[in-house]
Structure 1
Amino acid sequence: MSAMMVPKLRRTGEEAIMWSEEEIDALLNPLRSAQSDSQDIEVKEAVGGLPVSLPETISAFANGRGGTIVLGIAEKDGFEPAQGFKAQPVAEALAQMCRDKITPPIRPVIDVASYHDSTVVIAVIDEADPLDKPCYVRNRGRYSGSFIRVWDGDRKLSHYEIDRLLENRAQPMYDRGLIYEATVDDLLPDIVQGILTLCRERRPRVFGKLTDEEAMSALGIVGTGDDGKPHPTLAGLLVAGNYPQQFLPRVNITFTCYPGYDKVFAGGVKFIDNYSLDGPIPEILGETLNAAQKNMRIGGVLDGPFRKDTFEYPEDAIREAVVNAIMHRDYSPMARGGQIQVNMYKDRLEVLSPGGLYGDVTLDSISEPGSTSTRNQTLAKLLECTPFRNATVAENRGTGYSLINRLLLDNGNGEPEIYSTLNLFSVTFRSADTSKLPDSRRDPRYAGWGDRPDIDYSAAQGLINGQLPTPAHPKIVPFPKNSIKTEELSDEEMYERYLKDIPGLGPTIARIAGLDVPQSADMPLVRDVSSIERPSARSASASALEGSARYSMLEEQLLQLINKHGTMSTPKLVEATGAPRSTVTYQLRKLLESGTIERTQPARSPKQSYRIKSA
């Protein structure tokens, strides 16, 4: 045997070691029990030479998380040594196969070991570097010869999966791509201005002298297309678009709360709650958190003399997981048909997003502080300066999963469960027991109160390895007797006492309840369109048609608010009505087109307000 063909040995420090029979038994015993190969171990007889399919297995292990190949073992004989196996020439042939038939070449650790009075060949295949993937069978080409391990077999990678691996070699630019069907008018001025204001405060030297248009281009919110016109980028449209799903229908978030432990429904109930959330990122992020808060279990536990709320999941951890999904999901054309899913089950909450881990981040390193590799750089940069709930949507400091881990442990949920393939990334939170208060939230001054038999002061324990906690039975602190005053009111009394002075709602509720109430002088019901002057240029027949038209309840509410205050901006109308921003904007556009209202500023002004249009 030539010096080049000497098999490499496993090494511990400087001392070469060989496989012992006990180690080989430990390797093969699980296969004997399962009577098959496993996710990371492949056994072949190789009596007549190397199997034809072996290059596929080498490719699959290298493209996955690595694996071990054992040659000279007969599966049909209970995973015992194969008769007639010649270890030394097989080891040489395996080393040559890894070098000459695999691209890029693989350099496995190969051992020839004694086992049950015979010899076997054991090769340890390490996972390939992300920049070297996909590892493929050379004579079959990249798109036909790349494989991945799936349980005990090797599956050919799809075109999409190979493209995702190749992205690790160069920075993807899908988030910077222009959406030609959209225009700058499809962006919301107040979100754009919020971003620009924050950027000018943080980096005045860079953005202080730029016009809004120049700053939007520098940030990647818009770009100039081949037609010479400005268009929003994918990142800009997702962050600040009025309705991004008009152009990217499935790039949104769905939230579903299921009654059981999986999606298979029983008793005719498919789900408890279900939302398809559309709009710009700040809006759908807020709506996702609201949906989770609405559907999670909340308990009340005594800590000393005080009652404290306990939550099934910490909201900040949910927010971090959803923001990471938005920021790092795959936005390539083939992946835009898949949405981010937030699924809440009886025992867990999971966040699923298209596309697996990117760059040099692995499942082993993802929770380490500072571990980050950004697939969508422009989007990530924008989210750092997009206002959201008195802060910004994202920090982008590589602390997301280390923060999630700490928040979940402090809340009693246990560590998050993270799973990644080339197609999908998921993070799962196990439910916390809301009948118990975590140690991190207990006041040490009341530790001695734990001796009281009527109160449970033990720390909450989350689910471990999928096991359910004891069903939650929160302590209930009853109201003192006679402390709640009750009084029966008629519809008229309820309206007069509580409803009539609510802007935009009182008259509407009165009409629905069938109450005969006088119309307020300072806020006329605008369903009677005679109270709003129409442009004189419109024909009498058109005015008559409009006079008989029926506004939607939200349109009527918007008109009442504008009529009362004289002028109102979109944010103020959203705040006053409680309706989603995209819905309010859509209704305002309808009222503009019908000539009922008009703008007070040019169309793209960040100070835009609306007023009733006069003749």
Structure 2
Amino acid sequence: MYCFMCKVGLKSLIQICERKVIAVQDVFDISQFDEYREDNRREVKKANGGLPVSLWDTYSAFANCYGGVIILGVKEEKDGSWRTTGLQNEAKLRKDFWDTINNPKKVNINLLSDEDVKTYVVGENKDVVMVIYVPMAKREQKPVYINNDIFNGTFRRNYEGDYHCTRLQVKTMLRDQTERTMDMEVLDKVPMEDLNYETIHGYRNSHRTLKEGHPFERLNDHEYLRSIGAAAISEEDGQLHPTAAGMLMFGNEYNIVRHFPEYFLDYREELDSTIRWTDRLHSSSGEWSGNVCDFYFRVYNKLIKDIKIPFKMVGGERVDDTPVHKALREALANCLINADYHGVRGVVIRKEPDKIIFANPGYVRTGKKQMRLGGESDPRNKSLMKMFNLINIGERAGSGVPNIFNVWEDEGFIEPEIEERFDPDRTVLSLPFVKKATEKSDGKKTTEKSDRKKVTKKTQEQYEKILAFMKPDIWYKANELVEVLGVKETRTKELLRALVSDEKLEDNGATKGKRYKKR
């Protein structure tokens, strides 16, 4: 189908393309078109000699990440701008495309319909371009791979382009295909005695206190563990054995690592820059059980020890729980529930002077944007989620992360940040305890440090240097301002973030390749 736009430029073409993508995938924001060029959610290819071989790498990469748009008949110039080159034989190119994408020896799955491939005639030269909208594959469709080779033909997208997935990443996608999550596996060779019953009894006490009279209360330990998903009858010998979730939640670290060799839980307090850490707790120390349940309670108590509790009475009793406490419980549980315990680097919680960072192995199964919006729950470990829910920790409705953002907004803190990293897969949630800048009575604004004191004279001079250097309507990267300020890039980013909070600058919303400009 042709759309003849004799007087329409390339940017108008992209606006039309973007409206389609927003309607179908809700991926792009056309108002940020110029800033999105470098985040690789779109790809342009000349296609002068037919379908580019690299097209299929990009198809796989987009499908295995968040989707994207491929435009054939366009060249990217050195400065990042796009120039149309046109297509010599659009009809043949289109036929070749559909023949190839429907060939299972080339592409294992076709995610596209006729509506996802459009042809346009652009500009005064009437250059023909083809626009291909690639959706994000569903969890059960991944990995999307090419050349009938799942381990060498699976790609993902990063900020440098398409890259081959590792065997570990492919295996993670295969594990995530099924409705039965990894933690439901029955460990047929493991006796029930391998679990830590001190942890189990502590958990049962919490459950009993929170839900007095619950039907599970009268069960013996083995029946109780079976009821909550921590144990199951093996099809192999007909006996009761721990599940993977039971081992993770209630096992001892030295037993857990036999089934999850990469298992590692780590909490670090980095409150003093002069020493490596002021407090540390990790699962392999041998000083405690090292399981998920004990880690949760030990770490939560460390996280909240500096949280101020306002005086509040309900029914004649003081309430020592605040929305911030609840948000921290949700963040910690979410990190543990969605961790890929076969993934590398383990779970790491870092408490810094002005923020807490929760990092777990594994990509976001619903996608980062859906995680932020909520309403769709797809935990990586459903049995672990059930166990946390039974003691009133965690949300089943997919509303946990949005609630955290709402609490931070209500408290006046800078908005939390979700970062998804690949190779290796990792999800990072940062919760800053830095107040947004507020207006003074005279109408001027002030920027606050993490300790909420006014900025120093030196910092104010650095702010002024940034604002004086930046020209209106031009986007800058942090590294472009390093020489201007004469400080390290990390310090430059801190200054830029503060100016964004102060509404003197705005950023493009990207996690990597972030840019800033004057408001």
Q: TM-score range by the shorter chain?
A: 0.5 to 0.7
Give the letter for the 1:93 counterpart.
Answer: D
Give the letter for the 1:174 counterpart.
Answer: D
8 Å Cα contact 2:324/2:407 also seen in 1: yes
Provide the secondary structure at the position in 2 that maps to 1:425. Answer: strand
8 Å Cα contact 2:6/2:124 also seen in 1: no
List per-residue Cα deviations over 1:66-107 (Å, max 9, x = no partner).
122222223458642337844443333334333334221132
Aligned residue in 1 for 2:51: 50
Aligned residue in 1 for 2:379: 374
Aligned residue in 1 for 2:169: 161
Query: Which whole-Å CA distance do the structure 2 matches of 1:37 and 1:369 have between them?
Result: 27
Give the letter for the 1:270 counterpart.
Answer: R
1:39 shift after superposition: 0.9
Provide the secondary structure at the position in 2 that maps to 1:168. Answer: coil
CA shift in 2, pair 1:274/1:217, >3 Å: closer
1:56 shift after superposition: 0.9
Alignment equivalent of 2:332, drawn from 322, 336, 339: 322
Q: Which runs of 5+ in 1 are unaligned?
A: 1-5, 11-15, 301-310, 387-391, 439-449, 462-467, 476-615
Alignment of 1:524-543 (within 5 A): none
List per-residue Cα deviations over 1:561-598 (Å, max 9, x = no partner).
xxxxxxxxxxxxxxxxxxxxxxxxxxxxxxxxxxxxxx
1:352 shift after superposition: 0.6
Aligned residue in 2 for 1:288: 299
Alignment equivalent of 1:257, drawn from 256, 264, 269: 269
Structure 1 residue 69 corresponds to structure 2 residue 70: yes
Range with greater deviation from structure 2 (61-70 or 410-419):
410-419
Query: Which whole-Å CA distance do the structure 1 matches of 2:331 and 2:240 have between them?
Result: 33
1:320 shift after superposition: 0.9
1:258 shift after superposition: 3.5
Aligned residue in 1 for 2:408: 408
8 Å Cα contact 1:196/1:215 also seen in 2: no
Query: Which whole-Å CA distance do the structure 2 matches of 1:33 and 1:209 have between them?
Result: 63
TM-score (ref. length: structure 2):
0.65
Query: Which whole-Å CA distance do the structure 2 matches of 1:257 and 1:212 have between them?
Result: 36
Query: Which whole-Å CA distance do the structure 2 matches of 1:93 and 1:297 have between them?
Result: 62
Number of residue-to-residue matches in the alignment? 408
CA shift in 2, pair 1:25/1:125, >3 Å: closer
CA shift in 2, pair 1:152/1:87, >3 Å: farther
CA shift in 2, pair 1:364/1:133, >3 Å: same
Alignment equivalent of 2:144, drawn from 126, 130, 135: 135
Identity of aligned residues (%): 21
Query: Which whole-Å CA distance do the structure 2 matches of 1:236 and 1:43 have between them?
Result: 49
Structure 1 residue 270 corresponds to structure 2 residue 271: no
List per-residue Cα deviations over 1:207-252 (Å, max 9, x = no partner).
58855433333333334565776543332233334x3455338645
Alignment of 1:575-594 (within 5 A): none
Q: Name the Cα RMSD after superposition.
A: 4.5
List per-residue Cα deviations over 1:298-325 (Å, max 9, x = no partner).
799xxxxxxxxxx999333222111111
8 Å Cα contact 1:253/1:341 also seen in 2: yes
8 Å Cα contact 1:322/1:351 also seen in 2: yes
Provide the secondary structure at the position in 1 that maps to 2:153. Answer: coil
Alignment of 1:44-123 (within 5 A): 44-75=45-76, 79-82=82-85, 85-100=88-103, 101-107=106-112, 108-117=116-125, 118-123=127-132
List per-residue Cα deviations over 1:151-198 (Å, max 9, x = no partner).
242112222222332323432243443284564264225236437857
1:351 shift after superposition: 0.4
Query: Which whole-Å CA distance do the structure 2 matches of 1:416 and 1:133 have between them?
Result: 29
Aligned residue in 1 for 2:222: 213
Query: Which whole-Å CA distance do the structure 1 matches of 2:87 and 2:336 have between them?
Result: 57
Query: Which whole-Å CA distance do the structure 1 matches of 2:13 and 2:436 have between them?
Result: 47
Alignment equivalent of 2:156, drawn from 148, 155, 161: 148
Aligned residue in 2 for 1:352: 359
Query: Which whole-Å CA distance do the structure 1 matches of 2:451 and 2:210 have between them?
Result: 46
List per-residue Cα deviations over 1:503-557 (Å, max 9, x = no partner).
xxxxxxxxxxxxxxxxxxxxxxxxxxxxxxxxxxxxxxxxxxxxxxxxxxxxxxx
Give the letter for the 1:114 counterpart.
Answer: V
Query: Which whole-Å CA distance do the structure 2 matches of 1:102 and 1:18 have between them?
Result: 37
TM-score (ref. length: structure 1):
0.56
8 Å Cα contact 2:412/2:436 also seen in 1: no
Alignment of 1:193-212 (within 5 A): 193-194=204-205, 204=215, 207=216, 211-212=220-221
List per-residue Cα deviations over 1:384-439 (Å, max 9, x = no partner).
334xxxxx444534331122122111222233222335622221112323999x9x
Give the letter for the 1:427 counterpart.
Answer: L
Aligned residue in 1 for 2:464: none
Alignment of 1:146-545 (within 5 A): 146-166=154-174, 167-178=176-187, 180=189, 183-184=192-193, 186-188=195-197, 190-191=201-202, 193-194=204-205, 204=215, 207=216, 211-223=220-232, 230-241=240-251, 243-248=252-257, 251-258=263-270, 269-277=275-283, 279=289, 280-294=291-305, 314-331=324-341, 334-335=342-343, 338-358=345-365, 361-368=366-373, 370-386=375-391, 392-394=392-394, 396-421=396-421, 423-433=425-435, 469-470=448-449, 472-473=451-452
Query: Which whole-Å CA distance do the structure 1 matches of 2:224 and 2:275 have between them?
Result: 50
List per-residue Cα deviations over 1:590-615 (Å, max 9, x = no partner).
xxxxxxxxxxxxxxxxxxxxxxxxxx
Alignment of 1:24-39 (within 5 A): 24=13, 38-39=39-40
1:342 shift after superposition: 0.9
Provide the secondary structure at the position in 2 that maps to 1:379. Answer: helix
Aligned residue in 1 for 2:491: none
Query: Which whole-Å CA distance do the structure 2 matches of 1:258 and 1:211 have between them?
Result: 42
8 Å Cα contact 1:55/1:97 also seen in 2: no
Which structure has more RCO (C-alpha within 8 Å, separation ≥ 6)? 2
Query: Which whole-Å CA distance do the structure 1 matches of 2:353 and 2:6 have between them?
Result: 49
8 Å Cα contact 1:357/1:421 also seen in 2: no
8 Å Cα contact 1:313/1:408 also seen in 2: no
Give the letter for the 1:123 counterpart.
Answer: I
Query: Which whole-Å CA distance do the structure 2 matches of 1:351 and 1:20 have between them?
Result: 45
8 Å Cα contact 1:70/1:122 also seen in 2: yes
Give the letter for the 2:247 counterpart.
Answer: L
8 Å Cα contact 1:313/1:411 also seen in 2: no
Query: Which whole-Å CA distance do the structure 2 matches of 1:258 and 1:339 have between them?
Result: 18
List per-residue Cα deviations over 1:236-287 (Å, max 9, x = no partner).
233334x345533864531223369xxxx7xx64334433255344432232
1:353 shift after superposition: 0.8
Query: Which whole-Å CA distance do the structure 1 matches of 2:166 and 2:413 have between them?
Result: 36
CA shift in 2, pair 1:38/1:90, >3 Å: farther
Poorly superposed stretches of 4+, deviation over 6 Å: 16-19, 25-30, 297-300
1:42 shift after superposition: 1.6
Provide the secondary structure at the position in 2 that maps to 1:22. Answer: helix
CA shift in 2, pair 1:252/1:397, >3 Å: farther
List per-residue Cα deviations over 1:371-395 (Å, max 9, x = no partner).
2123322222222334xxxxx4445
CA shift in 2, pair 1:178/1:142, >3 Å: same
Give the letter for the 2:427 counterpart.
Answer: F
CA shift in 2, pair 1:471/1:401, >3 Å: closer
Give the letter for the 2:11 counterpart.
Answer: E
Provide the secondary structure at the position in 2 that maps to 1:402. Answer: helix
1:127 shift after superposition: 1.8
Query: Which whole-Å CA distance do the structure 2 matches of 1:212 and 1:232 have between them?
Result: 12
